[in-house]
């Protein structure tokens, strides 16, 4: 079968890293599943915006529905407000295509220096399930008396029973398939009684259906502390949109580098394409230098292969990444400050290992 994939490199280091994700995924898909991947590169980005006055063509959203998956680099450029780059492309994509599962693994690979003391490879091994369509990211709010000292802004988080239920169930189902079968639900209902109160109610209702999963509820502040004190206790973590955002950057840091943090924005119904992107952004400070770590993009492509049903290929990519990291011959600067290896060196090493 041929899998049609749209590629949006986007801004900054996005296009640089994404090419290596394509190479690694292609090599693995051919070798392990005999599958063909067909790539269509779409130039939607800040550069495109500067030419056309919009981040994507008028029929862009329609165009994308022809693809099984979207491989995404990053958007964001200092010369254009986030209101354009992030709010016309990334955030609406998650909602328009109902990609309600934002899956973000954090794993401490052998060969990667952990900033925490006394952690062994594999000690950090968690999957964060982040709600990706509602909650604190709802585009709901407004301003009164703008531009005066009486200005009041309201920012409204919207939580629905169904929205909480579907991400919690996805997380519980993932936990059932893992050896430790543990789940932690993140809350802050002691302060935000409405939004997170509903989250907790759904959690308490849903957990009854998964008696084989050991689950607990943890305050987001305590979770931030425990990600540092004892990250090894976490298996599957499920969190609202904002808490998932904060905690996954934190989990990336404790697992050694944001340069290794992958993510999947999944619509499990497959009615619309799912999207796969590194957690890091466009990193304007290092863009164009050819020194970005492509592994976050490569590992995001592995999550894509999983979604396409190419589990062997996905594992092939992950094994190749693990091998390259463990050998430690090629390291980008996020992994070793003194290293001079390039994005391409790392991409080549992974393709060779596949």
Ligand X SMILES: CC(C)[C@H](C(=O)O)[C@@H](O)C(=O)O
| Residues with a known catalytic role | 137, 188, 221, 245, 249
120 touching a copy of itself, by CB under 8 A: no
Task: Please tell me the distance from the alpha carbon of residue 169 to that of residue 175, in angstroms, as a whole number.
Answer: 10
225 touching ligand X, by CB under 6 A: no
Beta bridge partners of 299: none
230 touching ligand X, by CB under 6 A: no
Shortest reach from residue 328's CB to a copy of itself, in Å: 18
Shortest reach from residue 252's CB to ligand X, in Å: 10
The answer to whether 152 and 262 are in contact (CB under 8 A) is no
191 touching ligand X, by CB under 6 A: yes
142 touching a copy of itself, by CB under 8 A: yes
Q: Between the CA of residue 242 and those of 119, 148, 246, 260, 283, what are the distances in Å?
A: 27, 29, 6, 21, 21
Beta bridge partners of 214: 182
CA 269 distance to own-chain centroid:
19
**Maximal C-alpha separation, the chain:** 64
Query: Which of these ranges, 22-30, 32-40, 147-155, 323-331, lies near a copy of itself under the rule CB under 8 A?
Result: 147-155
Tokens coding 127? 């999957």
151 touching ligand X, by CB under 6 A: no
Q: Which is nearer to a copy of itself, 224 or 322 (CB)?
A: 224
Residue 322 touches which member of a copy of itself, ligand X, none, C-beta under 5-8 Å by kind = none
The DSSP-derived string for 292-326 is S-THHHHHHHHHHHHHTT-HHHHHHHHHHHHHHHH
What is the side-by-side strand order in the sheet with 101-107?
A: 36-42, 2-10, 69-74, 274-278, 262-266, 101-107, 125-131, 236-239, 182-187, 214-219
221 touching ligand X, by CB under 6 A: yes
Shortest reach from residue 295's CB to ligand X, in Å: 17
Q: Which is nearer to ligand X, 201 or 221 (CB)?
A: 221
Residue 209 touches which member of ligand X, a copy of itself, none, C-beta under 5-8 Å by kind = none
Return the residue of 197, 268, 284, 328 that touches a copy of itself, per CB under 8 A: 197
Return the residue of 190, 230, 269, 340 that touches ligand X, per CB under 6 A: 190
Task: Please tell me the distance from the alpha carbon of residue 245 to that of residue 196, in angstroms, as a whole number.
Answer: 16
151 touching a copy of itself, by CB under 8 A: yes
The answer to whether 46 and 14 are in contact (CB under 8 A) is no
134 touching ligand X, by CB under 6 A: no
Residue 149 touches which member of ligand X, a copy of itself, none, C-beta under 5-8 Å by kind = a copy of itself
Buried b (16+ CB within 10 A) or exposed e, 41-59: ebebbbebbeeeeebbeee
Number of residues that bind a copy of itself (CB under 8 A): 63
**What residues from 248 to 287 belong to the interface with ligand X (CB under 6 A)?**
279
Q: 47: closest CA among 107, 89, 104?
A: 89
**What residues from 245 to 284 belong to the interface with a copy of itself (CB under 8 A)?**
245-250, 252-254, 258
86 touching ligand X, by CB under 6 A: yes
Query: Which of these ranges, 65-73, 103-111, 137-145, 267-275, lies near a copy of itself under the rule CB under 8 A?
Result: 137-145
Shortest reach from residue 74's CB to ligand X, in Å: 8
Return the residue of 245, 278, 299, 307 that touches ligand X, per CB under 6 A: 245
- On the CB side of 312, CA atoms within 13 Å amount to 8
Q: Calculate helix-pair angle for 220-229, 241-254, nearest 10 degrees.
A: 10
- By CB under 8 A, name the binding residues for a copy of itself: 76, 82-83, 86-87, 91, 114-117, 136-137, 139-143, 148-162, 165, 188-198, 220-222, 224-226, 228-229, 242, 245-250, 252-254, 258
| Interacting residues toward ligand X by CB under 6 A | 86, 90-91, 190-191, 221, 245, 279
């Amino acid at each position: 079968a041929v899998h049609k994939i749209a590629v949006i490199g986007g801004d900054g280091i996005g296009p640089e890293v994404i090419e290596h994700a394509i190479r690694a995924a292609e090599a693995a898909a051919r070798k392990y599943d005999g599958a063909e991947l067909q790539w269509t590169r779409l130039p939607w980005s800040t550069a495109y915006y500067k030419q056309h006055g919009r981040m994507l063509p008028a029929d862009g959203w329609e165009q994308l529905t022809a693809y099984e998956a979207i491989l995404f680099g990053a958007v964001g450029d200092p010369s254009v407000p986030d209101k354009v780059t992030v709010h016309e492309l990334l955030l609406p994509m998650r909602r328009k295509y109902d990609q309600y599962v934002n899956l973000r693994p954090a794993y401490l690979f052998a060969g990667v220096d952990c900033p925490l003391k006394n952690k062994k490879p594999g000690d950090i091994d968690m999957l964060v399930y982040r709600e990706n369509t509602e909650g604190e990211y709802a585009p709901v709010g407004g301003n009164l008396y703008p531009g005066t000292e009486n200005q009041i802004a309201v920012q409204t988080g919207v939580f629905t029973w169904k929205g909480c239920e579907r991400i919690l169930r996805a997380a519980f189902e993932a936990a059932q398939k893992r050896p430790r079968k543990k789940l932690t639900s993140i809350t802050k209902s002691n302060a935000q009684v409405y939004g997170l109160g509903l989250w907790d109610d759904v959690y308490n209702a849903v957990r009854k259906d998964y008696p084989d999963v050991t689950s607990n509820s943890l305050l987001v502040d305590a979770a931030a502390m425990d990600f540092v004190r004892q990250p090894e206790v976490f298996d599957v973590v499920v969190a609202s949109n904002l808490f998932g955002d904060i905690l996954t950057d934190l989990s990336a840091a404790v697992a050694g580098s944001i340069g290794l943090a992958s993510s999947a924005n999944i619509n499990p119904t497959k009615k619309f394409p799912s999207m796969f992107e590194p957690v890091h952004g466009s990193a304007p400070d290092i863009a164009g230098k050819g020194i970005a770590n492509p592994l976050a993009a490569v590992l995001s492509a592995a999550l894509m292969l999983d979604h396409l049903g190419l589990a062997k290929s996905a594992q092939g990519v992950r094994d190749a990444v693990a091998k390259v990291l463990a050998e430690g011959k090629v390291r980008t600067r996020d992994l070793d400050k003194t290293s001079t290896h390039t994005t391409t060196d790392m991409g080549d090493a992974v393709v060779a290992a596949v």
